[in-house]
């Protein structure tokens, strides 16, 4: 079975340009997460969705960032306008909550290979 698929794998863009990162979760998974990884801040959760609905976007850094999930098999993370400090690896991840519903916390979250963004 295919894993979480992200595109592009690498992107170099100029400051001020719009950046769109794309993600296809594992089929059947109903949770989708966007994480950002930087040397300074480590792995940060930006936003996550359940059944295509945003549940927690408290990690989205500012209004320049937006995320959508129009259907169960596709999500986007958009940065407009981009800035050099947005340079990072952006990971998409997905999971399916097996176990005794929401009280079960041992579900495995599967990560994509990441989108490596450089803003110059």
Partner 1 sequence: GDSVTQMEGPVTLSEEAFLTINCTYTATGYPSLFWYVQYPGEGLQLLLKATKADDKGSNKGFEATYRKETTSFHLEKGSVQVSDSAVYFCALMNTGFQKLVFGTGTRLLVSP
Site residues, partner 1 (CB under 8 A):
4, 31, 33, 42-43, 45, 48, 50, 56, 91, 93, 95, 97, 102-114
Least Å from the CB of residue 93 to partner 1: 8
Least Å from the CB of residue 17 to partner 1: 24
Which lies closer to partner 1 via its Cβ, residue 33 or residue 65? 33
Which lies closer to partner 1 via its Cβ, residue 5 or residue 66? 5
Which lies closer to partner 1 via its Cβ, residue 70 or residue 106? 106
SS3 state at 105: coil
DSSP letter at 108 equals: P
Which lies closer to partner 1 via its Cβ, residue 81 or residue 110? 110
Q: How far apart are the first and last CA of the chain?
A: 37
Least Å from the CB of residue 87 to partner 1: 16
Establish how many alpha carbons lie within 13 A of residue 10's alpha carbon, considering only the half-sphere containing its beta carbon.
Answer: 0
Least Å from the CB of residue 49 to partner 1: 10
DSSP string, 2-36: ---EEE-SEEEE-TT--EEEEEEPPTT--EEEEEE
Please state whether beta strands 115-119 and 10-13 pair in parallel, antiparallel, or not at all (unpaired): parallel
Residues constituting the chain: 120
């Amino acid at each position: 079975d295919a894993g979480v698929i992200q595109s592009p794998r690498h992107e170099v863009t100029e400051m001020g340009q719009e950046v769109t990162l794309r993600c296809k979760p594992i089929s059947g998974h109903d949770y989708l997460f966007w994480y950002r990884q930087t040397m300074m801040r480590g792995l940060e959760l930006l936003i996550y969705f359940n059944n295509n609905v945003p549940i927690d976007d408290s990690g989205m850094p500012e209004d320049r960032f937006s995320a959508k999930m129009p259907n169960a098999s596709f999500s986007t993370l958009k940065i407009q306008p981009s800035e050099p400090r947005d340079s990072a690896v952006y990971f998409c991840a997905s999971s399916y909550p097996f176990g005794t519903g929401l009280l079960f916390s041992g579900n495995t979250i599967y990560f994509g290979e990441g989108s490596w963004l450089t803003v110059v």
